[in-house]
Structure 1
Amino acid sequence: MKIFRADYVFPISADPIKNGYVAIDDQGKIIAVSDQMPRGSEHVPVEQLSGVIIPGFVNTHCHVELSHLHNKVSKGEGLVQFIKNLQSLRNTNQKEIEAAAIKADQDMYENGIVAVGDISNSNVTVPIKANSKIYYHTFVEAFGFIPENADATFEGALQLMDQFKAQSCSITPHAPYSVSKELFKLIKKYCDSRPHKNLISIHNQESEDENKFYRYKLGNFNDLYEHFGIDISYFKPQARNSLQSILPLLTSKQKILMVHNTCTNLKDIYFIKRFDRHINWCFCPNANLYIEGTLPKVDLFLEQGFNITLGTDSLASNDKLCILSEMRVLQESFPSLSLERLLKWATLNGAVLLGIDKEKGSIEPDKTPGLNLITGLDDLKITAETKVKRLV
């Protein structure tokens, strides 16, 4: 047995405990969490800590395979230019890609992350995830905006997913602007026929240009399709935002994670409530600032009854893969957010999404959530001095 005592313990599944104790076994399994020493542990030394003990973080949106693009994609040029830059840079020396991905995995572990929902468009991360100390669920992306290519695109995604089958994985659409209606329908049919989970993760409304394109077929996305030689003459304006346009094409049988949501508005949220869909939201604030220079209207999502999670996006659009860093941005931009709420987004909610909440996400007996120590808080508010240290 090992026992920690800290100024506070945030179990997440229960109220914070002042001067709380956490006892674990040598496998990191929680034996007890309480405001008192566990029974029968009188002779066990206690490690006294200054700060707050929390469960390990869950990062529900990452692109580990893009880690080699760290500091290579310009900031603040908007989503369309970001995509152009990304596509021109992403293919490089295989060893460089692998080395950067391995380092990213190690960095996330050091930053207290215990589980990741990771986007993959290639098989480069298969062995890395197999050997990682982190739990991964891989979202194998299907994308193709040309209707007649839908069958081939879907089959290619299925073949890639087969290479991840030894791990937790699912097939998922990339974004409204990169998936044709025909491809959406193939993914929905697949999801609806699965007796097991096939989690969906979709990039949602990262820029106003996405909504402009869907509403009026205007904006910079027309330039993007021209840049890549994609004929979009078939596409007709939908007279509604992208989210409202594609929601009926998504499965009602599986959990759906809407990622980014930078330009999602209240009408979009109310529209979702009219449909029988299992919607979750993921905020990646550092990436939003990196690409578009703006943040989602987070206040709109509060008290709406949805599960909210946090992600880092990739090192192509972020300076680090650190959930604490994402929480810091949200705390600075939305001061009314409590530490307790932010921590739930960063831990238990992500575990619930990934279906691993029986083991991770909260500090409860018999779970193995990992333990982090948060220091440098100011009256339980995250500051520039706040740091995270992995305990277990």
Structure 2
Amino acid sequence: MKSFRADYVFPVYADPIKNGIVTVDDNGKILSVTNDPSTIPGEIEQLSGVICPGFINTHCHLELSHMKDRIAPGSGLVNFVQEVITMRRNVTADEQEVVNAATAADEIMYNNGIVAVGDISNTDVTASVKKQSKIYYHTFVEAMSFVPERAQAVFDQALQTLDTFRPLSASITPHAPYSVSKELFRLIKKHSDTGKNLISIHNQECEDENKFYRYKLGAFNDLYKFLEIDIEYFKPQARNSIQSIIPLLSNNQDILLVHNTCTNLKDIYFVKRFDKMVNWCFCPNANLYIEKRLPKINLFIDQGFNITLGTDSMASNHTLSILSEMLTIQQHYPQISLERLLQWATINGAKFLGVDDSRGTLEKGKTPGLNLISGLDNLKITPDTKVKRLI
């Protein structure tokens, strides 16, 4: 049994506790959360800072970890996508290099207090890493093809890849509006309507995505030329990408819309009109790395949606730290409190991944992990703020 006392304990499901004490057993299970030391047998370790549950990273690409520092920041999404594709085609990276980089990234996340991850995979190369990890993983196997005739073959391949991640939690998901044909969306929807199949889709990462869907103009035309894809069949939709694809998604699954860099209020209201279980995920450091801009996060607050946080990949970020994502948000949106940010970083992600019975809050009987956040300035995150995993 171990007991930790800090300036504040944030149970997340309840109000912060000043001079709170968290007691756990040898397996990290919460035995009690209190501010009364007389009820605690044995020694209490005194700490400076805030104790909170372990973080949930709902969006990562572990298999891109070997691309760290290989793509220049600020080049825009279309160029970023082309760079990733080119590296996968041409750069000599044997499987062991990819596995070694993924293993190192997994350790970075563990040391940064992350206890569960929603990870995107296009191949099975990270399956061994995840099966040996101390972190809980749900793998989103991406199905990706904008060519209608390839929909069935791509979906069948995704099913095969899915099996390689078992018995870990996994599902098939569309990549993004600009990379998935209606035919492939329909196959994924049919699959999702019949059983448990969490969805995580990249959404509106740049203005060109909306421009392409509205007018069939912009840089995505160059991407399809680069990919040698004939898009003659595609007709302008006269609406933004999210408005075009939301009707193609299942009503039966939780859906994570990731990035949302260019999502506007009309898009949010449009999504609210549909009977979909939509969650929004923000990865601000990746948005700055790729597009040099942030989503209008203030528009999403108090709209009745679950909001989560992600890190994206080492190809589009300098590290994999949920605390760093919270810092970036607080620097640009100082009105967002630490308490709200911790909800986004813990219980909201746990709910989306379906692990809130054991993670996400400091409640008796749970094993959520314990993080110590130190170096706060009046409960504000600063560049000097650090996270240390206690359990």
Out of 54, 57, 67, the position equivalent to 2:55 is 57
Tell me, yes or no, if the aligned pair for 1:23 and 1:38 is still in contact at 8 Å: no
- Rounded to whole Å, the distance in 1 between the matches of 2:43 and 2:236 is 67
- 1:101-136, Cα deviation, whole Å (9 max, x unpaired): 000001100000000000000111111111100000
Q: Name the aligned partner's letter for residue 11 of structure 1.
A: P
Q: Which residue of 2 aligns with 1:137?
A: 138
Give the direction of change, closer, same or farther, for the CA distance of 1:38–1:253 in structure 2 (3 Å limit): farther
- 1:310-340, Cα deviation, whole Å (9 max, x unpaired): 0000000000000000000000000000000
Q: Which residue of 2 aligns with 1:193?
A: 194
Q: Find out whether 1:17 has 2:17 as its counterpart.
A: yes
Q: Taking every aligned residue pair, what percent have the same amino acid on both sides? A: 66
- 1:21-78, Cα deviation, whole Å (9 max, x unpaired): 0000000000000111263x33x11100000000000000000010000000111010
- Rounded to whole Å, the distance in 1 between the matches of 2:9 and 2:258 is 30
Q: Which residue of 2 aligns with 1:309?
A: 308
Aligned residues between the structures: 388
Q: Which residue of 1 aligns with 2:46?
A: 48
Where do residues 243-322 of structure 1 align in structure 2 (5 Å cutoff)? Answer: 243-322=242-321
Q: Tell me how far 1:89 sits from its aligned partner.
A: 1.4
- Rounded to whole Å, the distance in 2 between the matches of 1:180 and 1:258 is 18
Where do residues 153-232 of structure 1 align in structure 2 (5 Å cutoff)? Answer: 153-194=154-195, 197-232=196-231
TM-score by length of 2: 0.98
Tell me, yes or no, if the aligned pair for 1:205 and 1:264 is still in contact at 8 Å: yes
- 1:339-387, Cα deviation, whole Å (9 max, x unpaired): 0000000000000000000100000000000000000100000001000
Q: Structure 2: which 5+ runs fail to align?
A: none
Tell me, yes or no, if the aligned pair for 1:69 and 1:90 is still in contact at 8 Å: no
Q: Which residue of 1 aligns with 2:335?
A: 336
- Rounded to whole Å, the distance in 2 between the matches of 1:369 and 1:96 is 32
Q: Name the aligned partner's letter for residue 101 of structure 2.
A: A
- Rounded to whole Å, the distance in 2 between the matches of 1:251 and 1:9 is 39
- Rounded to whole Å, the distance in 2 between the matches of 1:212 and 1:165 is 39
Q: Find out whether 1:81 has 2:79 as its counterpart.
A: yes
Q: Name the aligned partner's letter for residue 126 of structure 2.
A: T
Tell me, yes or no, if the aligned pair for 1:200 and 1:254 is still in contact at 8 Å: yes
Tell me, yes or no, if the aligned pair for 1:32 and 1:38 is still in contact at 8 Å: no
Q: Tell me how far 1:164 sits from its aligned partner.
A: 1.1
Q: Tell me how far 1:165 sits from its aligned partner.
A: 2.0
Give the direction of change, closer, same or farther, for the CA distance of 1:241–1:369 in structure 2 (3 Å limit): same
- Runs of 4+ in structure 1 off by over 2 angstroms are none
Q: Name the aligned partner's letter for residue 99 of structure 1.
A: N
Q: Find out whether 1:148 has 2:149 as its counterpart.
A: yes
Q: Which residue of 2 aligns with 1:68?
A: 66
| Secondary structure of 1:50 counterpart | coil
- Rounded to whole Å, the distance in 2 between the matches of 1:373 and 1:27 is 18
- Rounded to whole Å, the distance in 2 between the matches of 1:238 and 1:359 is 43
| Secondary structure of 1:377 counterpart | coil
| Secondary structure of 2:49 counterpart | strand
| Secondary structure of 1:74 counterpart | coil
- Rounded to whole Å, the distance in 1 between the matches of 2:140 and 2:96 is 23
Q: Name the aligned partner's letter for residue 61 of structure 2.
A: H
Q: Find out whether 1:7 has 2:7 as its counterpart.
A: yes
Q: Find out whether 1:242 has 2:241 as its counterpart.
A: yes
- Rounded to whole Å, the distance in 2 between the matches of 1:169 and 1:181 is 23
Q: Structure 1: which 5+ runs fail to align?
A: none
Q: Tell me how far 1:90 sits from its aligned partner.
A: 3.2
Q: Which residue of 2 aligns with 1:124?
A: 125
- Rounded to whole Å, the distance in 2 between the matches of 1:358 and 1:37 is 27
Q: Name the aligned partner's letter for residue 202 of structure 1.
A: I
- Rounded to whole Å, the distance in 1 between the matches of 2:97 and 2:157 is 25
TM-score by length of 1: 0.98
Tell me, yes or no, if the aligned pair for 1:25 and 1:31 is still in contact at 8 Å: yes
